[in-house]
Chains A and B, each alone.
Chain A
Amino acid sequence: MTTPATQTPSQAVEAVPAQRRTPQEISDVSVIVGGQGGDGTLTVVDLLGRYFRKRGLYVYTSRNTLSRIRGGHADASVRACRDSRAAIKAKADLLLAFDQEAIDVVRADLDPGALVLYDSTSFKADYPNSLGFPFATLVGGQLGQPIYKNTAAYGAIAVLMGFDDAVVRQVIEERFKRRGPEALDKNLKALELGRQAALAVPAAVNRWSLAEGDAHDLILTTGNQATALGFVVGGGRFFAGYPITPATEIMEYLMRYLPAYHGVVRQGEDELASINMVIGAATTGTRAMTSTSGPGLSLMTEGIGHAGTAELGILVADCQRVGPSTGQPTRHEQSDLAHLAHLGHGEFPKFILSPGSAEDCFYMTVDALNLAEKWRLPVLLLLDQALCQNASTVPAFDLSKVKVERPSLLTADQVAKQAEYKYYAFSPTGISPFAPVGTPGVTSQITGNEHDEWGHVSVNPVNRNKMMEKRMGKLIQARDELPRPRYFGHKEARIGLIGYGSTSGPILEAMDVLDAEGIVTKYLQARTLFPVQEESLGPFFDSVDLAFVVEHNYTGQLARLLREEMPRYHAKLRSILKYDGFSFRAPDIAGPIREAVHGTKR
């Protein structure tokens, strides 16, 4: 059988000016790679990410930003920047396309000056500024397998962007050395084929000159991985969950991590089983967690309420996605907050914490475990798809900043010195120090029925009042220990922004955009969403004329919660909302603020 290589021209297909141009200096670049699932789009993004990091640039990668299921289309993007940017760039500079669909799907996301680099083996790009090389035929002819086309494409991009040859090669070596000498050799050859093809086209060489950065010693990680690592380090030893996008990776990481630490991970038959296994584990004094997304959270709600009234410290991570019902499982939204803030039937205390970056996910998961155990209640870690699954460069996690504290836990020795041991003993803080089930010399009664201090069912109205006040009082007692907001921007600014989770990245970028236009802003990154932190939010609202609440949902759930809890600031709040399944990009946030400012001036 003849290889396609003999039948297809191996020359470049050009739709760009033929002469060599002066390299364009660039310090913030975004590359999208798109094709059919299996084209290796993620491989190219991974290789580029590795290169950029070696050049001291901050990296942010995302996938699922577009449909992955329909037509088998898959794409991923990587952004490299001298500044720390945890957001997708407003417009991409380069698209590597393995088919026409990849171009059509992202056309609107390309910068007017963007170049489409494509594999001309099977199609001619319908795009004005494009450059095609028959990557599949090139590598197919020389190496016998077209699958190395993505490495060849990486080689061509390296030429386009004026990458350092030695570092380009080093990236390939690091990435493929574990696959054995043959795979490494073929990838190095594919790299060279891609490079030579591009070098033969003058217009392709050094179109860009990428700035170097000073961001070294960073790690590239996702919120899901950081949460899983935080769970281990925070002493988490039991995890039960049910597969659900975009939360599944937390379970998968923990399946790898936990067994080495006497930990157990079980996949439940559903979310009901998962939350209840976690509840069972918590009774033994084990730090336990589940992770889920909207549909699973709905099923877990009864269990979370049970933990609240039975006073069991558990951790539930909600990786929000587009809802309701099955919604858009792979897409981004922040639409569970209203449900969580008013969670369940009956009334019980819970904390809702929201880390603002992958780095924050790590440390906050540890804090959440400490808080859940100390205050003996469910803690909800509110994440979102972009935070969970997009990867960003963050400082390496530092164990010296981590504390594992267990003040409510009674050891066997401590219990033995007491005259009596009541699982639900009244106390000024509402915390009953507890001995895990299995502690020698004592037994516990643990129940979701209203109970007395011993855990015996009680319908006594005086006891009911005292127990409600004990449990609900934790929301006030714990206030000083909950994660505080982080503040960014100009202290004197009269325009404020409020957001949580992954919106922090685009918010900070939008503030820089506005800053350059002379519009000064400041930003309160909320890290505890419930109980609502009036002590921080009040002074912030007092200091501004307008506060933009930035969130991914239709009804402005965070803004509504703030209005509900702090009605006096009603008139100051404006919502910036997005619910199309995509993350904010800086212009989405800067635009409405600019309009409001100029509107005010007129």
Chain B
Amino acid sequence: MVQSAKPTANTWCPGCGDFGVLAAAKKALVDLKIPPHEAVLVGGIGCSGGIHNFIDVNGVHALHGRLLAQAIGLKLSNPQLTVIAAGGDGDGYAIGMGHFMHAFKKNASILYIVMNNETYGLTKGQASPTSRLGFEGNIEVPFDAILTALSIPTGAFVARTFSGDPKTMTAVLSEALQFNRDHRGYAFVEDLSPCVTYNDTFKEWREKIVNIEKLPGYDPTDRSAVFRLCTETMNAGKIPVGVMHRPGKPSDAASNPLELKLLPDMVGPARADIALEHNLPAYQKLLATAG
């Protein structure tokens, strides 16, 4: 057994919502029997982005807002890997917003977990893209990632979970990771993960969350029906959680996972044999096409 990087001591505040995500991710990886070397956790910048330090898999600490691009590059280069990107709402919905939108289009089979605490915790409590009106003087309308995700017509798996309900979260993350491992495309999970220091919403959120799966008319293959249930729930002052989109079957027209198209043989760039002597005839043919 070769000794390599081990998880470090956790640095989050006691009671932080992110502990729920960490525990659920660990359990899901164990349940799916994914060996540590085959899994990569790409962390963003912010408290939540340090999550890759606290779990026994490969860890990549990305630049602020760029975790999705790095995770997609990883996955497309080695499609055998299980790739999780995990960061906060500032990282994903502010500085990383461009990539947030395009990750749905790119549809690589990675899981993106956003730990939404409605604040910038690490820089001590400024308003974030999801902060409600009035929080720390916020005068901007809060962004809703689920409504946005539902409006993008792809075959992505979409869900919202709550750190106060680790059991459901583990089930959702397991399903999302299995979805990825079946190369069915992109999975996005927003976890409501309160910041106990700067925006402690545990109690409030526990009271406000509504499991959308229990509402009449719920159909996770019907994005417009779910969109409507979400807006109705929000209009009633509540917060919808649950699986928001689950494409019917892999052959759905909207489900066109990138790696199956790009990498039909699943060798991928990382495992390609680049030794010159093994490629000579092909290279000679290629060079003959020049000029």
Interfacial residues, chain A to chain B (CB-CB below 8 A): 219-221, 225-226, 229, 232-233, 235, 237-238, 240, 257, 259-264, 266, 268-270, 272-288, 302-303, 306, 391, 396-397, 399, 402-404, 415-416, 418-423, 436-449, 454-457
Contact = CB atoms under 8 A, between A and B. Distances in A.
B132 interface: no
Given A235-B274, A284-B78, A442 B4 contact: yes
A448 B61 contact: yes
Contact of B279 (A261, A278, A396): A261
Interface in B1-46: 1-6, 8, 35-38, 40, 42
A193 to B, nearest CB: 30
Contact of B270 (A260, A419, A436, A448): A436
B269 A437 contact: no
Contacts of A221: 290-291
Nearest to A397: B287
B125 to A, nearest CB: 22
Contacts of A449: 61
Given A284-B74, A445-B52, 12 more contacts: A220-B291, A262-B263, A263-B272, A264-B269, A269-B101, A279-B69, A279-B73, A280-B42, A280-B60, A399-B283, A402-B276, A421-B3
A237 B77 CA distance: 8
A262 B287 CA distance: 18
A47 to B, nearest CB: 15
Contacts of A416: 2
B126 interface: no
A284 B81 contact: yes
B178 interface: no
Identify the 7 closest CB pairs spanning chains A and B, nearest first: A280-B73, A235-B274, A276-B69, A237-B269, A277-B73, A219-B291, A280-B70
Contacts of B65: 272
Nearest to A272: B66
B219 interface: no
Interface string B55-90: 011111111011001111111111011000000000
B99 interface: yes
A420 B3 contact: yes
B253 interface: no
B61 A303 contact: no
A281 B286 contact: no
B181 interface: no
A574 B125 CA distance: 55
22 contacts: A229-B286, A235-B274, A235-B276, A237-B269, A240-B73, A263-B272, A269-B105, A272-B66, A272-B98, A273-B69, A280-B70, A280-B77, A284-B78, A303-B63, A438-B81, A440-B35, A441-B1, A441-B4, A444-B5, A446-B60, A447-B61, A455-B5
Contact of B58 (A397, A403, A443): A443
Contacts of A277: 69-70, 72-73, 76
Nearest to B284: A399
A281 B72 CA distance: 8
Contact of B287 (A220, A399, A454): A399
A262 B271 contact: yes
A543 B286 CA distance: 44
Contact of B74 (A266, A281, A422, A457): A281
Given A257-B286, A443-B58, A437 B63 contact: no
Main secondary structure of the interface of A (DSSP, over half): mixed
Contact of B283 (A233, A276, A282): A233
B66 to A, nearest CB: 4
A225 B291 CA distance: 9
Given A237-B269, A438-B38, A456-B5, A268 B69 contact: yes
A452 to B, nearest CB: 10
A399 B290 contact: no
Given A269-B98, A446-B61, A279 B2 contact: no
B2 A302 contact: no
Contacts of B236: none
A399 B284 CA distance: 8
A442 B36 CA distance: 8
Contact of A438 (B37, B52, B274): B37
A437 to B, nearest CB: 5
A447 B56 CA distance: 15
A456 B37 contact: no
Most buried by B among A225, A226, A418, A444: A444
B146 to A, nearest CB: 21
B2 A421 contact: yes
Nearest to A234: B274
Contact of B71 (A280, A285, A404): A280
A67 B6 CA distance: 59
A547 B280 CA distance: 43
Given A421-B4, A443-B36, A437 B62 contact: no
Contacts of A286: 77-78, 269-270, 272
A306 to B, nearest CB: 5
A103 B188 CA distance: 59
A102 B45 CA distance: 55
Contacts of B250: none
Nearest to A391: B291
A457 B102 contact: no
Given A220-B291, A286-B77, A446-B61, A276 B2 contact: no
Contact of B8 (A261, A279, A421, A456): A456
A57 to B, nearest CB: 15
B76 A264 contact: yes
A287 B2 contact: no
Nearest to B274: A235
Residue among A391, A402, A437 with the highest chain B CB neighbour number at 10 A: A437
B166 to A, nearest CB: 24
